[in-house]
A and B are shown apart, each in its own frame.
Chain A
């Protein structure tokens, strides 16, 4: 793992994508997340909007953009549920910010790092969700820790497959 200076890496490896990719990829992630359960039944082992948030945050290496991307994805996820809007929004805002902050400092091309990052950030997102729901809002919510664990593993595996595919969409000089 090579750790490089922040400015150096930012100047070198800020990824750029066509505008259509910024619009379509998150939209497809949201649509698939909402549509797949109708096809494959119970579908709780994956959080595609989270994976996409992490990808763009790592690629853009801008905490502000990561924050906005995470907030947008989280709010739209919340809007599709019957929960209060903002729970996923806060969780993914934090995840986007952290992913972008980490992406500035470490090499995110490595598959092992992508896998570990997605795993940890997924667990963090679940923890923030449960914290907001039960502690901050005082709402009753049953949750199962192994579901969150499996979801983190699922997100990591999907990220390992999806990130190289999305890498092909970036604009190369």
Chain B
């Protein structure tokens, strides 16, 4: 018996280790109600322990490497490479001012939207607090698109929290360890997120394919879907808040398995291949955060000042309009407005009316009739050829008198 074990010890060890792993796999996989196999999303304690060991072993060197790299980059960026920083700062300040004004204009709409949602008893989830974190490592496998953050449960992270960047969504927290957290990226084959196309309002489920591309699967063929259309989160998956950018339509392909269905290949908004800093949405509440409220207050102040300035400008314009002759008279009908007058705008100079008209007087067609005492009466019925019957006024404003 001993010789059997000694002779076949290599094979026995191999089979024992393989058997142990196969049993371990069987424990982790379960059947769904539809008869499909799936990996239990919540790890059993033993499995979680192995993951914790691996993470404890790998995370410190990764953190060290990442820290060294970050320190070198910081040294370069903060002390050595400061060219054009002042100009950039000025540009950014201008951008901040402009955005504040834009935000002020959107403030009323946002508040009105909140009021309407409250009336409809609809709790729209706004991003309340986010936690910045650094990506320090990955799974190292293209079949498992996950990465690790340098913050974990001690930093307040929990499973199913959304992970985003300023550009768009990245993934969700899958597992949390004391000092690290595992994030499942949206381009993994097992991930899923509810999305909506911005223009056509078509809803679908976003997932990843073997090539690491994003695709929306299971939607009916629709000719309105064109490349370039923006895609947003739909908010129905209880992970990602509504309205976050996801990406844009890259192309539309036929579903190989089902006729009349299409797959929409999506170009992600976030740079999923080169993630460094991300934000974890740690809380979504139906109200504004203190920082946002402060920004809004600032915007309101800016808006108030801006409104006062605009009012002053309008008042000054009114005063100027009153003082200057206008082309529109509010008391006249449209067809009689001075603007519609096609007559010659240059007044014709007419000679002053003669005190004692005679035959040389302009417009005197016939000799004036002399009265008995020799005085002649001017023809008051004679009308000038053109222009108004007003006498021409000299530049000094006094009517001229014939000598």
Chain A residues in the interface with B (C-beta under 8 A): 27-28, 30-31, 33-38, 41-44, 49, 63-64, 67-68, 71, 75-77, 79-90, 93-94, 97, 101, 129, 132, 136-144, 147
In the complex, what residues of A have CB within 8 A of residue B29's CB? 84, 137-139
Which of B24, B137, B212 is the one whose CB lies under 8 Å from A38? B137
For the complex with contacts A31-B137, A67-B10, 12 further pairs of A-B residues with Cβ separation under 8 Å are A31-B58, A35-B62, A35-B137, A38-B147, A84-B28, A86-B25, A86-B28, A97-B10, A137-B29, A139-B38, A141-B143, A144-B211
Query: B112-151: which have CB < 8 Å to A?
Result: 135-144, 146-148
A17 CA / B143 CA spacing, docked (Å): 33
* Bound Cα distance A124, B189 (Å): 23
Give Cα distance in the complex from A53 to B147, angstroms: 24
A90 to B146, CA, bound (A): 21
Interface of A is mostly: helix
B17–A85 contact, CB under 8 A? no
CB distance from A87 to the nearest CB of B (A): 7
State the majority secondary structure of interface residues on B: mixed
Q: Whole-angstrom distance between the alpha carbons of A35 and B25 in the complex?
A: 26
A83 to B29 CA separation, bound complex (whole angstroms)? 10
Question: What B residues does A142 contact at CB under 8 A?
Answer: 189, 209-210
Task: List residues of chain B with CB within 8 A of the CB of A36.
Answer: 140
Assess whether B144 is in contact with A81, with CB atoms less than 8 Å apart.
yes
Stretch at the interface among B48-56, B309-317, B379-387: B48-56
Tell me the complex Cα distance, A28–B140, Å. Answer: 13
Find out whether the CB atom of A84 lies under 8 angstroms from the CB atom of B25: yes
From A77, A81, A87, A129, residue with most partner B Cβ within 10 Å: A81
Given A31-B65, A42-B273, A93-B21, A77–B136 Cβ distance below 8 Å? Answer: no
Q: When chains A and B are docked, how far (Å) is the Cα of A16 from the Cα of B222?
A: 65
A35 touches B65 (CB 8 A): yes
* B348 close to A (CB within 8 Å): no
Provided the pairs A82-B146, A82-B174, A86-B25 are in contact, do residues A139 and B39 lie with their beta carbons within 8 angstroms? yes
B190 contacts the other chain (CB 8 A): yes
Q: Chain B residue with minimal CB distance to A39?
A: B69
Q: Mark B345-365, 1 if CB is under 8 A from A, else 0.
A: 000000000000000000000
Q: Which 7 A-B pairs have the closest CB atoms?
A: A142-B210, A79-B54, A81-B144, A33-B140, A44-B142, A138-B37, A63-B10
| Assembled-state Cα–Cα distance A31/B211 (Å) | 24
Within the complex, what minimum Cβ distance (angstroms) separates B60 from chain A?
A: 9
CA distance A90 to B25 in the complex (A): 10
Indicate if the CB atoms of B53 and A86 lie closer than 8 Å: no
Q: Which among A35, A42, A101, A143 is the interface contact of B210 at CB below 8 angstroms?
A: A143
Q: Which residue of B lies closest to A83 (CB)?
A: B144
How many positions in chain B have a CB within 8 Å of any CB in the partner chain? 56
Taking a contact as CB atoms under 8 Å apart, the answer to whether A81 and B143 are in contact is: yes
Report 20 cross-chain contacts, Cβ distance below 8 Å, ordered by A residue.
A27-B57, A34-B137, A35-B66, A38-B66, A38-B135, A38-B137, A42-B212, A49-B140, A77-B140, A80-B55, A80-B138, A82-B139, A83-B143, A86-B24, A94-B14, A97-B14, A132-B25, A136-B25, A139-B37, A143-B143
Task: Note all chain A residues with C-beta closer than 8 A to B274.
Answer: 41
Given known contacts A37-B138, A44-B142, A140-B189, A85 and B14 CB-to-CB distance under 8 angstroms:
no
When distances are taken between beta carbons in the complex, the residues of chain A under 8 Å from B18 are 90, 93-94
Interface string of B166-204 (1 = CB under 8 A from A): 000000001100000010100011100000000000000
Q: From residue 1 to 41 of chain B, which have CB atoms closer than 8 A to chain A? A: 9-10, 13-14, 17-18, 21-22, 24-25, 28-29, 36-39
User: A68 vs B14: C-alpha distance in the bound complex, in angstroms?
Assistant: 8
Name the A residues within 8 Å of B211 (CB-CB).
Answer: 144
Question: In this complex, what residue of A is CB-closest to B210?
Answer: A142
Q: A30-B57, A34-B140, A64-B13 are in contact. Are A85 and B189 (CB under 8 A)?
A: no
Q: Which of B21, B55, B142, B209 contacts A90 (CB 8 A)?
A: B21
Contacting residues, chain B, for A87 (C-beta < 8 A): 25
Q: Tell me which residues across on chain A come within 8 A of B57, comparing CB atoms.
A: 27, 30, 76
- State whether B61 touches A27 (Cβ < 8 A): yes
Central interface residue in B47, B51, B141, B175, by most chain A CB within 10 Å: B141
The answer for the CA separation of A36 and B62 in the assembled complex, in Å, is 10
Instruction: Say yes or no: A75-B50 contact (C-beta < 8 A), given A31-B65, A37-B138, A97-B14.
Output: yes
**How far, in Å, is A142 (CB) from chain B's closest CB?**
3
- B275 interface residue per 8 A CB criterion: yes
A80 adjacent to B62 (CB under 8 Å): no
CA distance A76 to B39 in the complex (A): 18
CB distance from B277 to the nearest CB of A (A): 12
Q: How far, in Å, is A122 (CB) from chain B's closest CB? A: 14
Q: Check B51–A79 contact: CB distance below 8 A.
A: yes
